[in-house]
Amino acid sequence: MNFLLFVKKFVSRIKENYLILFCNLLVIFILFILSEYYCCYDTLNFKVDNIKNLFNYSKFCSFEEFVSKNHDFYINKSILKKTDKKPILLLGCSFAQGWKIPESMSPSQQISDITNRTVYNLSFGGGSIQHNYYRIMNDSFTNDINPEYIVYIFINDQIRRIYQYQFFGNQTIEYLRYKKIDDKFERIEPLFTFLWKFYTVKRIQEIICNFKVGNHDKSFEYFVSMMMKIRSKTKEKWPDSKFIVLVFHDFPTINNYDFYINNDWQILKDNGIQVISTNELINEKEFNKDICTTADKNHPNELYWKIILPPFVKKVGIN
């Protein structure tokens, strides 16, 4: 009897307060819509023509799933030559990929033409050190090649991408994160990915990413540690291979993290990795980058590579 009385009183209170409950839910819903609207435009730089992206949600796609579906595309970036010389393996992000550059003038093609070698390209646009780490450790394609030179092209924005959840706020294919435990790297599996479609969540993820990248020493240590793991694996696979890091210095679109390009990279040098900065190859202060960037102003174009690659190849001793 007491239980029935309790239920009756409870239902009565709900009826009395349903309007308040409804109003609270309505306010929460309106705040959410406003948050989504603001965060969408904030993520997309407030471009009015991107209104179509508001609530244009896509399914979460893992990095492995994306690579497996597009494996032929990445292998096709490689330039094959009939020669007795051992090949070159190119790693990095969209810079190494040759974004917005005609295939006939891509970094892979130009290096191949200069050296008369096959150039394999496993770079990943929008990626960072962890994407190259994953491919060196897991891609069966690397079992069939025997490069003499491995060239990693570094831009300082790759440090931020270590902590990145989504690329430009609307692509999940770049999500690939690891945590360092002692001397090992373990995958960080994504959680609650059904929420990742919301721009409010995307904005929160971006804030977390920017906060973490602010710890310069820890971020750079992480990057170097993973680079050493890549080098150890490549040395195991190809004992006679040489590893070179080309560091882009003062390129106009990546000046936010000068700390990283100004490091002396001594730990890599001490382990037999050759580190070359672009400012060793050309006088960039006198270099007209306005005519050496792609149409999107975010990447070096074919002219830039044409100027910088011959002195790079000569300096590192690739013949």
pLDDT digits (tens, 9 = 90+) for 199-243: 888 888 888 888 887 777 788 889 999 999 999 999 999 999 999
Q: What is the pTM of this model?
A: 0.84
- When the pLDDT of each residue in the chain is averaged and rounded to a whole number, the result is 82
**What are the structure tokens assigned to 140, written together?**
């069966």
Q: Are residues 30 and 102 in the same domain?
A: no
Q: Are residues 181 and 308 in the same domain?
A: yes
Which CATH number belongs to the domain containing residue 239 in this structure? Answer: 3.40.50.1110
Q: Are residues 145 and 196 in the same domain?
A: yes
Q: What percent of the chain has pLDDT over 90?
A: 32
35, 50, 65 - which closes a domain: 50
**What are the structure tokens assigned to 91, written together?**
């790693």
Mean pLDDT of 159-185: 83
Q: Are residues 45 and 129 in the same domain?
A: no
Q: Are residues 171 and 88 in the same domain?
A: yes
pLDDT value, residue 48:
46
Q: Are residues 77 and 112 in the same domain?
A: yes
pLDDT value, residue 85:
93
pLDDT value, residue 150:
97
Q: Other C-beta atoms within 10 Å of 94: how many?
A: 19
Least confident of 56-60, 103-107, 128-132, 208-212: 56-60
Q: pLDDT band for position 46 (50/70/90)?
A: very low
Query: Taking 70 as the threshold, does the pLDDT of residue 110 lie above it?
Result: yes
Q: Are residues 8 and 142 in the same domain?
A: no
Q: Are residues 46 and 159 in the same domain?
A: no
Q: Other C-beta atoms within 10 Å of 142: how many?
A: 19
- The number of domains in the chain is 2
Q: Are residues 167 and 304 in the same domain?
A: yes
Q: Are residues 149 and 289 in the same domain?
A: yes
Query: Taking 80 as the threshold, does the pLDDT of residue 62 lie above it?
Result: no
Q: Are residues 34 and 123 in the same domain?
A: no
Mean pLDDT of 180-206: 87
Q: How far is CA 52 from CA 61, 113, 169, 230, in A?
A: 21, 43, 14, 41
Query: Containing domain of residue 21, as a range?
Result: 2-50
Q: Are residues 32 and 169 in the same domain?
A: no
